[in-house]
């Protein structure tokens, strides 16, 4: 393992002004997104859509540091035969790959999930590296509800995240470690804080036990935020203050960067929260976005599966990428959104 090189890539992934495009929707998830805009989820449509994003020159070269791909996408070619991975490299961004194989019910723990995909992961990583992937992603899902999460669910998911991260580093690939505490319930921000704190503490304990080099990884956490169905929604400043307090307590400064998931926040909320956190600096790690929905909802709608809408889709993507790029430096203002509308 060349730790200097892993650290160089991890640092580039969270460079100020840039963040990560999470375009790694599995077949089931992209179908849901396409259903919402009335587009059939064929292999060709998925390719055309993602090609549109990766050919968005302004966004990709100025605001996107890396792209997380799904297995299908990493092997696909653009319409003109150029591998999609090459389009990403040519834009200056780093290609990455989602390597988990989704979730399964966790035995003895009703309503809880464990992420799977460790079998043969070492062989798969080798092939992804040869294809150009320089980082990977594995997402654990922790739900908050009556009596959950259990310590069992937190432990097994943290263990799998650390196993995955160690395998990545051995294959010279930077692991994005994503323990996502869902914001779907009616819990308040305090409960999210408490659960996320337990999840992050356990995850870093496992990473240490399994000898993962913290200098060669990126953390992709949720923010400390109110559940979507909670009657009392914490304001932007509180989300920012609690998230930074939580991360300072749980994430060692040796970690080069933290790149948030958006988790179902609106586009503008996700941007505003990241921006507000940068007002609380200096911070010990790079802090940016690794958004899926909060970067893609607007371009999906603008594109709607029509070739004549490609330019509009790219404009919508560039706008969101730019807004989040500014937020990653604390330079975003809501008036910039109004100007673009
Ligand atoms: C883009 O969505 C990713 C893939 O999800 P599935 O495996 O369920 O299809 C997801 O892992 C994503 O990278 C993160 O959760 C962040 O995405 P959001 O939309 O929460 O920013």
Tens digit of pLDDT for each residue in 145-154? Answer: 999 999 999 9
Q: 174: CA distance to ligand 1 center in Å? A: 18
**Which residue, chain included where needed, has tokens 């590296």?**
129
User: For a pocket test of ligand 1, which of 27, 261, 294 has the largest count of ligand atoms closer than 8 A to its C-beta?
Assistant: 261
The DSSP 8-state label assigned to residue 146 in this structure reads T
The answer to whether residue 178 is catalytic is: yes
What integer pLDDT is reported at residue 13 of this predicted model? 99
The answer to whether residue 241 is catalytic is: no
How far is the CA of 321 from the CAs of 35, 64, 149, 195, 290, in angstroms? 24, 7, 34, 30, 11
Band of the pLDDT at 327, cuts 50, 70, 90? very high
Band of the pLDDT at 116, cuts 50, 70, 90? very high
Q: Which of 15, 128, 138 is nearest to 65 (CA)?
A: 15
User: For a pocket test of ligand 1, which of 139, 218, 259 has the largest count of ligand atoms closer than 8 A to its C-beta?
Assistant: 139
How high is the mean pLDDT of the chain?
A: 98
Q: Using CA atoms of 176, 268, 65, 290 in order, give the dihedral in degrees to the nearest 10.
A: 10
pLDDT at 63 over 90: yes
What integer pLDDT is reported at residue 341 of this predicted model? 60
Question: Which listed residue (25, 112, 178, 206) is catalytic?
Answer: 178
Mean pLDDT of 32-52: 98
Mean pLDDT of 129-158: 98
How far is the CA of 14 from the CAs of 7, 8, 219, 230, 306, in angstroms? 11, 10, 10, 32, 33
Which atom of ligand 1 is least distant from the CA of 291?
21
Q: What is the maximum span of the chain, computed from C-alpha positions, in angstroms? A: 53
d(CA 52, CA 317) in angstroms, rounded, equals 9
Q: State pTM to two decimals.
A: 0.98
Q: pLDDT exceeding 90 applies to what percent of the chain?
A: 99
Helix (H) or strand (E) holding 3: helix 3-13
Mean pLDDT of 64-80: 98
Instruction: Spell out the domains of the chain, with CATH numbers in brackets.
Output: 3-340 (3.20.20.70)
What integer pLDDT is reported at residue 338 of this predicted model? 80
Tens digit of pLDDT for each residue in 245-288? Answer: 999 999 999 999 999 999 999 999 999 999 999 999 999 999 99
Helix (H) or strand (E) holding 169: helix 151-170
Mean pLDDT of 227-256: 98
**Cβ < 6 Å from ligand 1: which residues?**
22, 24-26, 29, 68, 139, 180, 261-263, 291-294
| 149: preceding bond cis by omega (within 30 degrees) | yes
Tens digit of pLDDT for each residue in 159-198? Answer: 999 999 999 999 999 999 999 999 999 999 999 999 999 9
What is the tally of helices (H) and strands (E) in the chain? 14, 10
**Which residue, chain included where needed, has tokens 């992709």?**
220
């Amino acid at each position: 393992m060349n730790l200097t090189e892993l650290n160089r890539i991890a640092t580039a992934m969270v460079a100020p002004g840039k963040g990560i495009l999470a375009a790694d929707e599995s077949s089931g998830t992209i179908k849901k997104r396409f259903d919402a805009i009335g587009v059939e989820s064929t292999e060709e449509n998925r390719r055309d859509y993602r090609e549109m994003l990766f050919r968005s020159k302004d966004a990709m070269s100025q605001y996107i540091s890396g792209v997380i791909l799904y297995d299908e996408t990493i092997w696909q070619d653009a319409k003109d035969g150029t591998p999609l991975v090459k389009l990403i490299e040519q834009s200056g961004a780093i290609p990455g790959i989602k390597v988990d194989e989704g979730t399964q019910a966790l035995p003895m723990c009703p309503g809880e999930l464990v992420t799977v995909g460790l079998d043969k992961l070492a062989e798969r990583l080798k092939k992804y590296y040869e294809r150009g992937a320089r980082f990977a992603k594995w997402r654990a899902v922790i739900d908050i509800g009556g009596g959950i999460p259990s310590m069992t669910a937190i432990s097994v998911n943290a263990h799998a995240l650390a196993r995955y991260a160690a395998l990545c580093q051995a294959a010279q690939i930077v692991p994005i470690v994503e323990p996502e505490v869902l914001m779907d319930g009616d819990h308040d921000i305090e409960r999210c804080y408490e659960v996320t704190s337990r999840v992050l503490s356990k995850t870093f304990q496992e990473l240490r036990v399994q000898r993962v080099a913290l200098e060669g990884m990126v953390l992709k956490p949720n923010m400390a935020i109110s559940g979507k169905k909670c009657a009392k929604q914490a304001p932007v400043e509180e989300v920012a203050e609690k998230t930074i307090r939580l991360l300072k307590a749980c994430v060692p400064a040796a970690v080069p960067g933290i790149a948030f998931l958006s988790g179902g926040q609106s586009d503008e909320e996700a941007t505003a929260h990241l921006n507000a956190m940068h007002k609380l600096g200096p911070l010990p790690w790079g802090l940016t976005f690794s958004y899926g929905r909060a970067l893609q909802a607007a371009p999906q709608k603008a594109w709607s599966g029509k070739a004549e809408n490609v330019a509009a889709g790219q404009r919508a993507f560039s706008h969101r990428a730019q807004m989040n790029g500014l937020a990653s430096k604390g330079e975003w203002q809501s008036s910039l959104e109004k100007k673009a509308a």
